[in-house]
Amino acid sequence: MKERYSQRKLVDAAVRGLCLLATGAALIPLGLVLYYVTSRGIGGLDWAFFTELPKPVGEAGGGMANALLGTLELVGLACLFGIPPGVLAGVYLAEFGQHRFAKLVRFSADVMSGVPSITIGIFVYTLIVLRTKSFSAYAGGVALAVLMLPTVTRTTEELLRLVPESLREAALGLGVPKWRATLSVVLRTAAPGIATGIMLAIARVAGETAPLLFTAFNNAFWPTGLAQPTASLPVQIYTYAVSPYDDWHQKAWAAALVLIGMVLILNVAARVLVRHRVRSR
């Protein structure tokens, strides 16, 4: 009996050990990727990297300022096209979404969040690029917005649902119309949480490459207009990574460091926001 018990203990300890091991194994790649990106990228970060345009093939120097700016521009457009509709759709689902139509919307949003980003690229290419006869920042922004939309919608809905009913009733009880109550009381209460969700969504789309290949395309110059093809960090990293030039590889690592830095900052900030909210609740 005792033997059996110790055997059981042994199995238990082994399983615990394996779980610990698995956690370690899951985190090793993160460490490796961060290590490689930092150690190889840091040398490429100089003033020129942030201020200059890429140089022609074979000439040393130059930077990625246009891609940095392009990424900001594309993410900005994505926010413009993706956040207001997403938040409003979320409001609809949380505040008015009791019937079958809302179920359909919810279902569509969930399905959409699983659609591969490359197919969104095809969709926007046929929808916008072929119609306007031009690759453009707009098209890139729309593609990223489509990627953001479901996340923003569902996050908004979930968070609005967490707002206590009493708060709504109190506002309505004061004679405020429902739209005002929703916007200035309910939405405002949930705002930090929604902002967190949005930041995570931004962090995700900022690093997306596949949907930009056929939409924003790429550009070796400064962005001159929203109807022009636009460079972006992820596409530039891809182009440089598969190139044969050592100088470009170095630049790809440096750009990866910048991109990962942006993504990490957004994630950590979102994290801090959440903690803040949880504490204050």
Partner 1 sequence: MISRRNLVSALVCLPLTASVGCSKPDGAGPGPSGSSGGTAPAQAGTVSLVGAGATFPYPLYSKWISEYNKANPGVQINYQSIGSGGGIRQISAGTVDFGASDAPMTADEVQKAPTKLHHVPTTLGAVVITYNVPELGAPLKLSADAVSGVYLGTIKKWNDPKIAEGNPGAKLPDKDIAVVYRSDGSGTTAVFTDYLAKVSTEYKDKVGAGKSVKWPVGLGAKGNEGVTGQVKTTPFTIGYVELAYAKQNKLPIAQLRNKAGQFVEPTAQTITAAAAGVEVGDDLTASLTDPAGEKAYPISSFTYLLVYEDAKDKTKGQALAKFLWWALHDGQKHAAELDYAPLPDALITKTEARIRSLRSGNDKLLPGG
Partner 2 sequence: MALLGAEVNAGDVLFRGVAALFAITIVLVLGAMAIQMWVAARPSIAHSGWRFIVGRDWDPVRDSFGALPFIYGTLVSSLLALGIAVPISLGVAVFLTELAPPWLRSPVSFLVELLAAVPSVIYGLWGIFALAPFLRNHLEPFLGKTLGFLPLFQGPHQGFGMLAGGIILAIMITPTISSVSREVLRAVPDSLREGALALGSTRWEALRHTILPYARSGIVGAIILGLGRALGETMAITMVIGNRTDISVSLFAPGYTMASVIANEFTEATGDVYLGALAEIGLLLFAVTLILNVVARLLVWRVGRAPEGARG
What residues numbered 180-209 form the site for partner 2, per CB under 8 A?
A: 180, 182-183, 200, 203-204, 206-209
Q: Does 48 bind partner 1 (CB under 8 A)?
A: no
Contacts with partner 2, 232-261, as mask; x by CB under 8 A:
--x--xx--xx------x--xx--x--xx-
Which residues ranging from 182 to 221 are in contact with partner 1 (CB under 8 A)?
A: 183-184, 187-188, 191, 194-195, 198, 202, 217-221
Stretch near partner 2 under the rule CB under 8 A, chosen from 34-42, 45-53, 55-63, 187-195? 34-42
Which of residues 64, 74, 75, 93 is near partner 2 by CB under 8 A? 93
Which of residues 42, 57, 80, 115 is near partner 2 by CB under 8 A? 115
Comparing CB distances to partner 2, the nearer of 20 and 227 is 20
What minimum distance in Å lies between the beta carbon of 26 and partner 1? 28
| Number of Cβ within a 10 Å radius of residue 27 | 10
Give the pair of three-digit tokens for residue 125.
Answer: 């290419």
In angstroms, the CA 178 to CA 169 distance is 10
Comparing CB distances to partner 2, the nearer of 156 and 228 is 156
CA within 13 Å, CB half, 229 = 17
Would you say 77 and 138 are in contact if contact means Cβ atoms under 8 Å apart? yes
C-alpha distance across the termini of the chain, in Å: 50
In angstroms, the CA 74 to CA 80 distance is 10
Q: Does 72 bind partner 2 (CB under 8 A)?
A: no
Stretch near partner 2 under the rule CB under 8 A, chosen from 44-52, 62-70, 222-230, 263-271? 263-271
Long-range contacts of range 91-97, CB-CB < 8 Å, 24 or more positions apart?
Answer: 91/156, 91/157, 91/160, 91/182, 91/187, 93/153, 93/156, 93/157, 94/156, 94/157, 94/160, 94/161, 95/160, 95/178, 95/182, 95/186, 97/157
Q: Which one of partner 1, partner 2, none interacts with residue 188, CB within 5 to 8 A by kind?
A: partner 1
Report CA 156 to chain centroid distance, whole Å. Answer: 15
Which of residues 6, 16, 170, 222 is near partner 2 by CB under 8 A? 16
The identity of residue 131, as a single letter, is: R
In angstroms, the CA 41 to CA 63 distance is 13
Residue numbers at the binding site for partner 1 (CB under 8 A)? 55-59, 69, 72-73, 75-77, 79-80, 83-84, 87, 129-130, 132-136, 138, 183-184, 187-188, 191, 194-195, 198, 202, 217-229, 239, 242-245
